[in-house]
Structure 1
């Protein structure tokens, strides 16, 4: 694969792309291979059942069916995709609920010191809200993972009513990532013969109208791509079957954008893809079947996010319940592991605005049930 230099923007607080500080220029070649990670080996289990590198600590933020500490709000079942938003000197973490019916999303608000100050509902009356994505104008796109599901644009502060965005298409939505340079939102589809989409609003910042397109490419895993308009976004005929030559992806999952590149994952073949939006090409960032030595560290790929250093953090649905890091030098290694929760999956990784705290959930916790979800915070010396 061709090596190229990327200057990327992290999902941390601010008003730039997805709210963030400038990423360091770093060469990425694909696919990543196992090696020694930047944070060292995982340590012993902590009090919360998590193995972390030296210098990192964890705490439980919320548990499904229980009041969020210091509030009167009961946390939702099956916590899934999430994102963080700057809120004055503090921040907000938004989390979906992947239950059907009555999915929706909730939020936890933090002070500048990380103290929880409130928790509340931001979306109700929807179905199986799996992942989603944040917008540059600080809303949360919550995606329904059901046939002919919708995208709902929600307010992380819980002040404005959520709005259903029909123009973004009706299909089994998974995740979304906004590209302000090309004024588009990329979308994944969680079916075994799904597609990769982009939505181009008529007016950037207003998702009420626009054009839904599907990626068209050859049969390989790398090379140039084009986009074709989906004739009927309402999905009366499944959107993935409306355009001849649409490229198939095996179970689209997480989706994350940073300057000119959109990374997305496919769980059916344990791959992390990278779409170069400037060059209009795709290639593999990781594929467990292409690991050349040792055991593949990442299986059951799911949600993905990034840090200000240019590292990608990819969560596992199953596997060994790890979040793995893929560095700009194409080394992949475990960053953390949750023990004793083999019936669960890791969801919703997102960094606080200052990049020092990572939030995520174990969707079904130790019980293996949607009512057993646990949402965590990990704090420590993340690379800047």
Structure 2
């Protein structure tokens, strides 16, 4: 396919601080995180939106599935899922996938510098079950199809350029993506019970039309050195990508992933684990495992993940207690918020505004338990820098 530039504020070469702030460097997580007091204190009573937050924080509803986004003529999509934020002049844009099949796709909401909604629009249509994805350093959105032999679509958050299907990134049950601007590669998770962890290295950084798809190879343990092996047939036409390389390490239901400071953090829902791949050392180890928690585990149903400038990881629950929990740099895991009265839903799409003062996320099925009942929220408050 022809290359699409999409280059709004792009930085294509070198090392880029593209994902906000500094997370843990090196191998700070020598042991999985344990429960403790979070940096923001206990959760208060539910607010008018049914969200329990620490003192000093507040929430608002940004959009509801099947309804027009306030002040616009755009109807918000069903089953909102993975998301990301992009700088837009003095304001920003929040992009959100739609995990329905058929239909899928993604939409965006634009905000002014004060947080007022200034627009909403469709940026991807005609795809299938777009679950999570990832932001690129050149400011595009990689929207991933969570279906057998699904594709990755590179999408313009401003909705100006046409989206492009990126076949070279492999055909499998895609979940999430995270770009590593230092090694100029993109990590990918696979949402099946015997899935793998991949990386795609473009022939030219900034152009995803061609490159090499590899799978992580390691023994069956939870920590240690790893290697990478090329996937012979990324199309998976005759053999699934995960079954083409002997020794490929298996993960039970790959979900969200996030890169910062030489580390890609990713989650697996089948065993409620948060993993860390140290790209500099080429090792993998556990950052969190609910079966290794002393006492009751605060984080279960691990799903989408993002990071804050403070070094905190924010992990959304699919079910569980309908919480977004955080893991601090000193290995403490604690709830940050809880959504009440929506036990038939899951939390999706956590992403911070560029200035780090607002956190966006969705309850995929809201109070109704149906994909048509999705609600997208904003939380604002004194997030630590």
**TM-score, normalised relative to structure 1:** 0.95
1:241 aligned onto 2:243 = yes
Distance 1:204 1:227 in 2: 19
Contact 1:322–1:337, Cα closer than 8 Å, also in 2: yes
- Counterpart position of 1:331: 332
- Counterpart position of 1:42: 43
- Counterpart position of 1:342: 343
Contact 1:59–1:376, Cα closer than 8 Å, also in 2: yes
> Could you report, residue by residue, the CA deviation over 1:195-248 in whole angstroms, capped at 9, with x for unpaired residues?
000000000000000000000001100000000000000011100000000000
Contact 2:184–2:205, Cα closer than 8 Å, also in 1: yes
Distance 1:24 1:296 in 2: 22
> Could you report, residue by residue, the CA deviation over 1:119-152 in whole angstroms, capped at 9, with x for unpaired residues?
0000000000000000000000000000000000
Q: Give the length in aligned residue pairs.
A: 371
Contact 2:21–2:308, Cα closer than 8 Å, also in 1: no
Distance 2:380 2:182 in 1: 32
Distance 1:19 1:127 in 2: 27
* Shift in Å, 1:23: 5.1
Distance 2:177 2:186 in 1: 6
Contact 1:316–1:323, Cα closer than 8 Å, also in 2: yes
Contact 2:109–2:121, Cα closer than 8 Å, also in 1: yes
* Shift in Å, 1:19: 4.5
- Counterpart position of 1:261: 263
Choose from 268, 287, 290 the match for 1:288: 290
1:53 aligned onto 2:54 = yes
1:91-170 equivalent positions in 2, closer than 5 A: 91-170=92-171
1:214-229 equivalent positions in 2, closer than 5 A: 214-229=215-230
* Runs of at least 5 residues in structure 2 that lack an aligned partner in the other structure: 1-8
Contact 1:24–1:309, Cα closer than 8 Å, also in 2: no
- Counterpart position of 2:20: 20
* Shift in Å, 1:259: 1.4
Contact 1:14–1:86, Cα closer than 8 Å, also in 2: no
* Runs of at least 5 residues in structure 1 that lack an aligned partner in the other structure: 1-12
Distance 1:306 1:39 in 2: 16
- Counterpart position of 2:281: 279
**TM-score, normalised relative to structure 2:** 0.95
CA-based RMSD: 1.3
* Shift in Å, 1:64: 0.1
Distance 1:226 1:90 in 2: 41
Deviates more, 1:16-25 or 1:206-215: 16-25
Contact 2:23–2:312, Cα closer than 8 Å, also in 1: no
Distance 2:269 2:22 in 1: 30
User: Quick one: structure 1 residues 112 and 210, their matched pair in 2 at CA, closer, same or farther if it must change by over 3 Å?
Assistant: same
